[in-house]
Amino acid sequence: MTWDFLDFPGAFPVTVIEAEPPRRSVIEWAGVATTGDSGTSRTTCEGWTGMLAALKAWLEHGINLREGFYR
């Protein structure tokens, strides 16, 4: 599988390790190891936080928080 995001240029491969729809999915991808409080660690956490919040809104209320976000 390949992921590609408008706010993060460049597609990258993602491997599905485990899938138990609709309860669980485990994925992995190659990345850069970071330690401490570097800018990259913060950016990654903020990105996942926003994505999970958008997913929750879509699943629970049918609201797409990302629609029009990149215009």
Same domain for 39 and 69, yes or no, is: yes
Contact 52, 45 (CB under 8 A): no
Q: Check residue 46 and give its pLDDT.
A: 73
Residue 51 or 14, more confident: 14
Same domain for 26 and 49, yes or no, is: no
Cβ-based neighbour number of residue 3 at 10 Å: 12
Q: Check residue 18 and give its pLDDT.
A: 95
Q: Check residue 37 and give its pLDDT.
A: 56
- pLDDT (tens digit per residue) in 15-71: 999 999 889 989 888 876 655 555 557 556 677 788 889 889 999 999 998 887 766
Question: Is 57 strand, coil or helix?
Answer: helix
Same domain for 47 and 65, yes or no, is: yes
Domain span holding position 12: 1-31
Q: From residue 41, give the alpha-carbon distance in Å to each of 14, 19, 32, 59, 64.
A: 19, 26, 10, 27, 26
Residue 8 or 43, more confident: 8
